[in-house]
Amino acid sequence: MATDIGIDLGTSKTVIFSSSKIVFEMPNAVTVDADTWEPKYFGEKAKQTLGRTPESLTCISPIEHGVISDYDIAEAMLKNYMQAAFGNKLMRPRIMATLPCGLTELQHHSLANVVEAAGGRNISVIEGPLAIAFGLGLDFSVPYGTLIVDVGAGTTDIAVISMGGIVECDSMKTASLDFDAQIIRYVRKEYNIEIGPLTAESVKIKIGAAVKRDIEVAVLAKGRNVFTGLPESFEISSSEVYDAIIDTVDSICNGIRMVLNKTNPDLVADIINDGMYLTGGGSQLTGLADRMSDYLGIKVHCLDNPAYSVVKGAAAALKKRNLLKNVDYQLRSIKELEIQ
């Protein structure tokens, strides 16, 4: 029976961690009836309908840039996922849900409400970078700066942490999905071919890189000619994908620089000594760590299983709640989040 549960309700997918393992992982996509808005499909089945539905159906994502954009659909989706993960075995567990850093009190409240409505109890929320710090096992008792960068699908969280609290942070709305969008724009501009987000994501995963590859590789992709409207195949190389996404990569690097620019120099000195920690699903882009290290002049540590570091850290935080005594806005239960 699950007693401690970590939930990462991200832009692209929901990950649930319990009993020291990932128990559920599914895309945050819901196919709904276009008229009644009643959910028809959830998760992977819904994601595959993206751009492929008749007029009677619509595929939507209830989470945008790490924030709930459609409360009712998000509630129905998470309820479906909790049922799939635990069935009827959920008996008042402690749940830690994560969200991007720097959000408002109302956004914290909305996340806690969705988790409660989906069947959760004893709910707390924690910001992603702080959850990662728990997973890293940082010593929260010492005044020492640590830089954590979490490149997700819809947001890039950049946070400087010291003594168990977030000193400076920014949640950029530039992240992995923007790589896909830039590939779509590039193909349309250079080849006059329209491709969908699933094709762009596949190209990024296969040959995308934040640095020039020593050996050029290419993939064959398919789309629709914007002039004739007919299907067409084309070959795109890794250097072309690099050209398409490098401005977005540098935008993320510049966001890190801006956070460091607002950080106390002594904390920056700590970060230079130890380096920064890079994680998140988007961090798996080939060469991203090298690009950031060259851009910032800081050593970059890549975490193991980066797509799961946030949710594992959230579960770890439940076991060490006393370490957050220096933070007055974290680990707020649903009752504490009630709007007065």
Please state the domain count of the chain: 3
Is residue 72, in this structure, part of any structural domain at all? yes
User: Could you tell me if 163 and 236 lie in one domain?
Assistant: no
User: Could you tell me if 231 and 280 lie in one domain?
Assistant: no
Cα–Cα distances (Å) from 38 to 41, 56, 72, 233, 252, in that order, read 10, 11, 10, 36, 37
Pairing of strands 30-33, 21-27: unpaired
Q: For residues 89 and 164, what is the distance between their CA atoms, to the nearest angstrom? A: 33
User: Could you tell me if 163 and 203 lie in one domain?
Assistant: no
User: Could you tell me if 38 and 156 lie in one domain?
Assistant: no
User: Could you tell me if 301 and 153 lie in one domain?
Assistant: yes
- Predicted confidence at residue 333, as pLDDT, reads 38
Residue 235 sits in a domain of what CATH number? 3.90.640.10
- Residues 184-205: b if buried by 16+ CB within 10 A, e if exposed: bebbeeebebebbeebbbbbbe
The number of residues in the chain equals 340
Report which of 102, 109, 92, 91 is spatially closest to residue 130, judged by C-alpha positions. Answer: 102
Paired residues of 167 in beta bridges: none
Is residue 339, in this structure, part of any structural domain at all? no
User: Could you tell me if 210 and 239 lie in one domain?
Assistant: yes
Written as six digits, the tokens of 258 are 């801006």
Residue 42 sits in a domain of what CATH number? 3.30.420.40
Cα–Cα distances (Å) from 51 to 31, 46, 97, 260, 328, in that order, read 11, 10, 30, 40, 44
Q: For residues 229 and 238, what is the distance between their CA atoms, to the nearest angstrom? A: 26
- Predicted confidence at residue 121, as pLDDT, reads 75
Q: Which domain holds residue 118?
A: 4-130+312-324
User: Could you tell me if 117 and 262 lie in one domain?
Assistant: no
Q: For residues 97 and 194, what is the distance between their CA atoms, to the nearest angstrom? A: 37
- Predicted confidence at residue 20, as pLDDT, reads 86
pLDDT tens string, the chain, 340 residues long: the values are: 557 899 999 999 999 998 889 999 999 999 999 999 999 999 999 999 988 889 999 999 999 988 899 999 999 999 999 989 888 766 667 888 998 988 888 888 888 888 888 877 778 888 999 999 999 988 888 899 999 999 999 999 999 999 888 999 999 999 999 999 999 999 999 999 999 999 999 999 999 999 999 999 999 999 999 999 999 999 999 999 999 999 999 999 999 999 999 999 999 999 999 999 999 999 999 999 999 999 999 999 999 999 999 999 998 888 876 665 544 434 443 344 333 3
Q: For residues 31 and 52, what is the distance between their CA atoms, to the nearest angstrom? A: 11
Written as six digits, the tokens of 144 are 């020492």
| CA-only gyration radius of the chain, Å | 21
- Predicted confidence at residue 321, as pLDDT, reads 66
User: Could you tell me if 85 and 68 lie in one domain?
Assistant: yes
Cα–Cα distances (Å) from 308 to 6, 24, 98, in that order, read 10, 11, 12
Is residue 210, in this structure, part of any structural domain at all? yes
Written as six digits, the tokens of 119 are 């069947």
Angle between helices 238-261 and 288-296 (to 10 degrees): 40
- Residues 304-338: b if buried by 16+ CB within 10 A, e if exposed: eebbbbbbbbbbbbbeeeebbeebeebbbebeebe
